């Protein structure tokens, strides 16, 4: 039975390795940035390669950039940038190799701890390694040029050294140096692994050795800190401590906790076995799980570190240590399961217990790995596909940035600047957090925006989330709206150009000169045209951008419309006739929360409204962006609303085909005075450009 379970789990884990390999290889070969945080690191490597400092003590003058992390990863990336020019593959290669190194050392820890009792457990070691790589968070982060996996590799190497040679003083020194190196790759790695190493040494060698370890880490770490801080005039402390204080959101922590509970229920069960059952089973002697004094403290520290994922701007990198800890838990439980009742000299149980226990553990681990892989293929892989899909647009964007003379501001696609060898002028997220905390004066930057200093500003919008609200202060966005105009759209990124040079004629006070109607809402991020309907995309989260009636009329709102109203106006282009204006999208994405004004409850009919009346606020109902869905529709023959023309028909309504036989949508651009589109069948992004 055990032989069968071995093969079953082997097959599952080999497929997990294949999925990891494909995922990371595709990321490695992709030339453009995959994450906001990659470009600043490449920029720092470029500066180091040119002999320039990366830890500036203040942001009084540009560049307004922050080096959030200690220098080890950037130092490792610098040779790639120096030899091959700005690129992301060098940093990604470091991450991928680091992930494999982490897997190796995690397996090594399990093997070493199993070997400390009686022989190693190579199979459990391999499974531990592959389980770590099966985590969706590991695969998705390993393909990025980010610091975390290098830090994890150094810290797990430290745990391996002290697990393999716990009695050797040189191992103690080596562990201290590796832990310090991990901290100087990412400062948050000063918790879980050092704590685990300390407890392990305390249990195996006593308090003197443990204190010596802590003392060495503290001394080397503090010495390096003082040297770096002195050399940078206080810039090191400012960048890695002061600039890292971001607001905290408990909801984010709870969301990831729920996700982990659904993703890894078997591993959570193993945690319970490790923490409760094994000590109870061993009658206080940890019953065969020799790794307990390292794994449990490491798990505790990793959980605390993972809790900081609630910081604004955090991502799944905060869960990597927890993934490593859970892999260790699995390996430890697996080695223990093979020794149940075998090592207990007082009461040897039946011989079949251990093989069955181990077989069951292997099967459960195989199921768990399958669940992890399922999540990987359905989530990070699909996100990656979406990210890389607009390849042509990104090629165009790169060329556009290359051809733009002068400093360019960008958020998600800062990498287009670094790829073109341009230094970053601004890291918007970092300085926004500093500005919000009152630690940075954004006035010089705002003045530069108002003076139209920057020929191009790129603002990105995630699918389903207005991430730019975290990355730009309200003052920056206002200054951009007032002095720049959205002139182009590429890869979910709005390109803003100065009003004076954009070649776009924007509305004045919300209306195009001479147009029959004003704009019903802000379209600061542009218009999306689809089959003669418009999505006006305002700047802001849901329920923050107001929507107004364009003219006097009579309003109706169907009972099954959480997000929309329709108003029958006099047709300004056809005197004597009337026309419906449809205002939709004013609800949450799932339609559960309506942003329509309470004055117009569902079921409203024939309600008189005046021009400029507040109808509600933009939402993201049935869409990825905060928007207002606007359409101008002739009435049906009986004067009723042609619901099929905005895809809202019910069984009582005429079908789209039937309606189109009678009437068709009016061109809304004629009513708003803006330029329209001749594109049919697909969405076309348009700047808000008033017709001359």
Partner 1 sequence: MPTSQASNKSIVLKGLAAMLWIISSVLALYALNGVADLVSSIYAAFWAEGGPYGEAYYSSVALRQMVIVPGAILTAAVVIGSAEYSLRHFNTPGLWRLFARILGVEAGILLLATLL
* Contacts to partner 1 by CB under 8 A: 1-12, 15, 18-19, 22-23, 26, 366-367, 370-371, 373-374, 377-378, 381-382, 385, 389
CB 140 → partner 1: shortest distance, Å? 13
Helix/strand/coil for 58: coil
d(C-alpha 173, C-alpha 442), whole Å: 46
Nearest to 524 by CA among 426, 608, 457, 612: 457
CB 3 → partner 1: shortest distance, Å? 5
Of 373 and 581, CB closest to partner 1: 373
Q: What is the dihedral of CA 343, 115, 324, 27, to 10 degrees?
A: -140
Q: Do 312 and 246 touch, CB atoms closer than 8 A?
A: yes
> Following DSSP, what letter does each residue of 468-528 receive, concatenated?
HHHHS-HHHHHHHHHHEEEEEEETTEEEEEETTTS-----BTTB-TT-SS--SB--TT-EE
Of 19 and 290, CB closest to partner 1: 19
> Following DSSP, what letter does each residue of 626-647 receive, concatenated?
-BEEEEEEPPPTTS---GGGGT
Q: Do 27 and 92 touch, CB atoms closer than 8 A?
A: yes
CB 535 → partner 1: shortest distance, Å? 23
Of 19 and 596, CB closest to partner 1: 19
CB 420 → partner 1: shortest distance, Å? 29
Centre a 10 Å sphere on the Cβ of residue 245 and count the other Cβ atoms it contains. Answer: 12
**Which residue's entry shows tokens 């705002």?**
446
CB 421 → partner 1: shortest distance, Å? 32
Of 255 and 385, CB closest to partner 1: 385
Of 388 and 607, CB closest to partner 1: 388
Q: Which residues contact 478 (CB under 8 A, 6 or more apart)?
A: none
**Which residue's entry shows tokens 């190579």?**
122
Of 167 and 389, CB closest to partner 1: 389
Q: Do 687 and 485 touch, CB atoms closer than 8 A?
A: yes
Q: Are β-strands 408-410 and 456-460 bridged in parallel, bridged antiparallel, or unpaired?
A: parallel
Task: Specify the DSSP class assigned to residue 623.
Answer: S
Q: Which residues contact 106 (CB under 8 A, 6 or more apart)?
A: 128, 129, 132, 156, 324, 327, 328, 331
C-alpha distances (whole Å) from 482 to each of 354, 402, 449, 523, 524 are: 72, 26, 10, 13, 10
CB 369 → partner 1: shortest distance, Å? 9
CB 384 → partner 1: shortest distance, Å? 8
d(C-alpha 511, C-alpha 674), whole Å: 9
CB 10 → partner 1: shortest distance, Å? 7
CB 378 → partner 1: shortest distance, Å? 7
CB 391 → partner 1: shortest distance, Å? 12
Of 366 and 596, CB closest to partner 1: 366
Of 365 and 446, CB closest to partner 1: 365
Of 2 and 452, CB closest to partner 1: 2
- Helical (H) or strand (E) element with 584: strand 578-584
Phi, psi of 181, deg, nearest 5: -60, -40
**Helix %, strand %, coil % of the chain (to 5):** 50, 10, 35
Of 2 and 664, CB closest to partner 1: 2
CB 625 → partner 1: shortest distance, Å? 21
> Following DSSP, what letter does each residue of 72-117 receive, concatenated?
HHHHHHHHHHHHH-S-SHHHHHHHHHHHHHHHHHHHHHHHHHHHHH
Of 56 and 387, CB closest to partner 1: 387
CB 15 → partner 1: shortest distance, Å? 6
Of 15 and 439, CB closest to partner 1: 15
Centre a 10 Å sphere on the Cβ of residue 169 and count the other Cβ atoms it contains. Answer: 11
CB 35 → partner 1: shortest distance, Å? 19
Q: Do 459 and 402 touch, CB atoms closer than 8 A?
A: no
Of 180 and 359, CB closest to partner 1: 359
């Amino acid at each position: 039975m055990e032989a069968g379970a071995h093969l079953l789990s082997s097959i599952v884990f080999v497929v997990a390795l294949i999925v990891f390999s494909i995922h990371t290889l595709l990321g490695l070969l992709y030339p453009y940035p995959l994450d906001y945080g990659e470009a600043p690191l490449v920029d720092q490597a470029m500066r180091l390669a040119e002999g320039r400092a990366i830890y500036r003590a203040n942001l009084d003058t540009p560049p307004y950039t922050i080096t959030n992390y200690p220098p080890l990863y950037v130092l490792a990336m610098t040779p790639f940038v120096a030899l091959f020019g700005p690129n992301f593959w060098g940093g990604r290669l470091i991450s991928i190799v680091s992930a494999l190194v982490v897997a190796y050392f995690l397996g090594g820890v399990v093997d070493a701890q199993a070997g400390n009792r009686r022989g190693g457990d190579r199979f459990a070691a391999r499974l531990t390694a592959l389980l770590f790589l099966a985590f969706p968070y590991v695969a998705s982060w390993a393909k990025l040029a980010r610091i975390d996996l290098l830090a994890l590799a150094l810290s797990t190497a430290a745990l391996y050294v002290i697990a393999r040679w716990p009695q050797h003083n040189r191992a103690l020194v080596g562990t201290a140096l590796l832990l310090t190196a991990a901290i100087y790759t990412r400062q948050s790695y000063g918790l879980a692994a050092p704590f685990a190493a300390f407890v392990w040494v305390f249990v195996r060698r006593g308090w003197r050795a443990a204190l010596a370890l802590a003392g060495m880490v503290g001394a080397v770490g503090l010495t390096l800190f003082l040297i770096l801080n002195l050399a940078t005039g206080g810039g090191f402390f400012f960048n890695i401590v002061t600039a890292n204080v971001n607001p905290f959101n408990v909801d984010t922590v709870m969301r990831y906790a729920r996700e982990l509970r659904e993703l890894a229920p078997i591993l959570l069960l193993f945690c319970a076995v490790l923490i409760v059952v094994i000590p109870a089973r061993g009658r206080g002697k940890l019953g065969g799980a020799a790794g307990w004094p390292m794994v449990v403290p490491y798990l505790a520290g990793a959980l605390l570190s993972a809790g900081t994922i609630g910081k604004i701007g955090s991502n799944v990198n905060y869960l990597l240590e927890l993934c490593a800890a859970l892999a260790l838990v699995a390996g430890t439980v697996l080695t223990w399961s093979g020794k149940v009742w075998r090592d207990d000299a007082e009461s040897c149980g039946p011989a079949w217990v251990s093989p069955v226990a181990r077989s069951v553990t292997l099967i459960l681990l195989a199921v768990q790995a399958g669940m992890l892989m399922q999540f990987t293929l359905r989530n990070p892989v699909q996100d990656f596909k979406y990210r890389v899909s607009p390849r042509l647009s990104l090629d165009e964007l790169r060329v556009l940035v290359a051809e733009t003379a002068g400093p360019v501001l960008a958020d998600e696609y800062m990498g287009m600047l670094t790829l073109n060898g341009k230094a970053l002028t601004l890291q918007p997220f970092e300085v926004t957090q500093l500005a919000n905390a009152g630690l940075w004066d954004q006035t010089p930057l705002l003045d530069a925006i108002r003076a139209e200093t920057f020929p191009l500003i790129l603002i990105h919008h995630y699918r389903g989330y207005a991430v730019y609200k975290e990355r730009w202060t309200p003052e920056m966005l206002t200054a951009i709206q007032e002095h720049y105009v959205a002139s182009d759209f590429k890869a979910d990124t709005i390109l803003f150009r100065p009003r004076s040079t954009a070649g776009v004629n924007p509305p004045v006070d919300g209306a195009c000169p001479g147009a029959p109607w004003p704009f019903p809402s802000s379209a600061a991020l542009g218009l999306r045209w689809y089959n003669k309907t418009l999505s006006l995309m305002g700047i802001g989260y849901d329920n923050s951008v107001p929507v107004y009636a364009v003219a006097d009329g009579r309003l109706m709102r169907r009972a099954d419309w959480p997000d929309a109203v329709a108003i029958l106006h006099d047709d300004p282009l056809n005197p004597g006739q009337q026309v419906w204006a449809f205002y939709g999208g004013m609800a949450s994405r799932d339609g559960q929360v309506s942003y329509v004004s309470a004055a117009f409850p569902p079921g409203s009919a024939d309600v008189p409204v005046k021009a400029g009346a507040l109808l509600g606020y933009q939402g993201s109902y049935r869409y990825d962006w905060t928007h207002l869905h606007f359409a101008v529709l002739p009435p049906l023959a009986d004067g009723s609303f042609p619901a099929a023309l905005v895809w809202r028909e019910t069984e009582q309504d005429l079908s789209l085909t039937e309606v189109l036989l009678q009437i068709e949508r009016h061109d809304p651009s004629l009513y708003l005075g803006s330029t329209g589109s001749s594109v049919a069948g697909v969405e076309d992004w348009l700047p808000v450009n008033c017709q001359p």
